[in-house]
Amino acid sequence: MRSLAFSSTFTSNRELHDKLYFRNQKNVGAQGVMVKSSPLKTAMVFVLIIIVVVSLSILSNRIWGGKHEQVQEVNKPIIEQEMTVAQFGRANELSNPVLKELFELKSKTDLEKKLNEYGTPDQISARVVKKLALASEHGSKNWLKIPLKFGLWFAFLATTFILLKKRKVGPRLRSSLLFVSLLLFGVILGSDPNPMGTIKDAIHLYGTTRAIFPPRLIALAIFLVLVFLANKYICAWGCQAGTLQDLIFHINRTDKQKAIIGRQIKLPFVLTNSVRFLFLGVFTLVVFAWGIDIIEPVDPFKIYKPMYLGFSGGISLVALLLASLFMYRPWCHLFCPFGLAGWLVERTSLVRISVDYETCIACQKCATACPSTVMDAILRQNKQTIPDCFGCYTCRDVCPTDSISFSIRKRTLPPADFFIKGPKDKSVK
């Protein structure tokens, strides 16, 4: 009788799993996944995406006035012995209102005061450079687009989150959402602001002028709060460079998560994160030592302002986009400063991917389908460091037993020897 009950339970669980599996397959098929692909078609779509993004970005920049949105370099001011404030202003082409703000002048007669009354040459130079750098920062921003962009970010991320929670996002809709995101937040609203810039530009500004631009820190805080709330959700669906890489990666994938052109690889997280740490360290060192921004010439966000790409930027961008066909978000995993900061914060995220081992059958389809190594780490929970999770939901799409959720549920450890035996054995608890 005990054997019969065991057999009955096993059969019942298997039937449930099969029903769920075929239901998922039916839903996936209904969203148009079963589309025949070929290397030629994939290559043509790849080229078309780049042409559309670049051409529409040029048009968008012209509509917005072609503003570079790049901070102008502030040179060290000219200071001579016995120079008055007025002479200092004329030598450095500074207007009286600027001088009044710099030196807190109370009347016009203060313009004839000796410059040394306001400090040593080094102190005055540092003060002037800092003030002018902040003024340049403020002047480089389009203050109409920034609040509009953040408002649309919140609306778009909320909509996408609801669709994903309701399992409405199949491969075709996924690609559409990624394209809409890069079109809206990159092509139409421009490259700035973006998650990476909040860290990169903050380090560069402080390293060269010791100035801090408060609006940028506010933007960084908002992005990190979003990571704390729901993993790297802003990177997954809102970052204009990230969504472009993501879209390109997925056009080179079949409905069975196989590469159409070449082979898609998953680099070990210990390698990608080590490179990312090293790159940020080198970037910071070079900024503080020589004032040079080594990311600026190869900034992938410049695809949305292509007139400022330059030769090195164009070459690096093409290489990055080609790499995106074969590796999931290469810039995010290897070079992005915000990618690193976001990974540190997401370790405490409230909403994240977790596995219910009561229903999991250890088929490991989620880990296989995951575009990176993160799902294997989440699934096994074997004390290894969890890589970046972009909440793409691919793991949920392929799970035959609905054992994966993106929620506030706490991650638990799998039972001992959970992955040693075959999947069928794991269907019976």
pLDDT in the model for residue 28:
42
3-state secondary structure of 354: strand
Do residues 316 and 303 lie in contact, with contact meaning Cβ atoms separated by under 8 Å? Answer: no
Residue 427 has pLDDT above 70, yes or no: no
Mean pLDDT (the chain) is 86
H helix and E strand count, the chain: 18, 2
pLDDT tens-digit map of 74-112? 778 888 878 898 888 888 888 888 888 888 888 888 888
DSSP 159-203: HHHHHHHTT---HHHHHHHHHHHHIIIIIIT-S-S-HHHHHHHHH
* For residues 346-358, average pLDDT: 90
Residue 237 has pLDDT above 80, yes or no: yes
Do residues 260 and 181 lie in contact, with contact meaning Cβ atoms separated by under 8 Å? Answer: no
pLDDT tens-digit map of 122-173? 888 888 888 888 888 888 888 989 999 999 999 999 999 999 888 888 888 8
Residue type, 105: L
Q: Which residues have CB under 8 Å from 135's CB, separation 6+?
A: 98
Of the pLDDT bands very low, low, confident and very high (cuts 50, 70, 90), residue 69 is low
pLDDT tens-digit map of 368-406? 999 999 999 999 887 678 999 998 888 888 899 999 988
In Å, how far are 148, 382, 390 from 213, measured between CA atoms?
A: 20, 42, 28
Indicate the pTM of the whole model: 0.85
Nearest to 243 by CA among 197, 170, 319, 176: 176
Nearest to 196 by CA among 185, 210, 187, 180: 185
d(CA 74, CA 76): 7
Q: Which residue has the higher pLDDT, 27 or 364?
A: 364
pLDDT in the model for residue 226:
94
**The two structure tokens encoding residue 170:** 């199949």
Of the pLDDT bands very low, low, confident and very high (cuts 50, 70, 90), residue 7 is very low
DSSP 93-128: T--HHHHHHHHT--SGGGGGSBGGGG--HHHHHHHH
pLDDT in the model for residue 234:
94
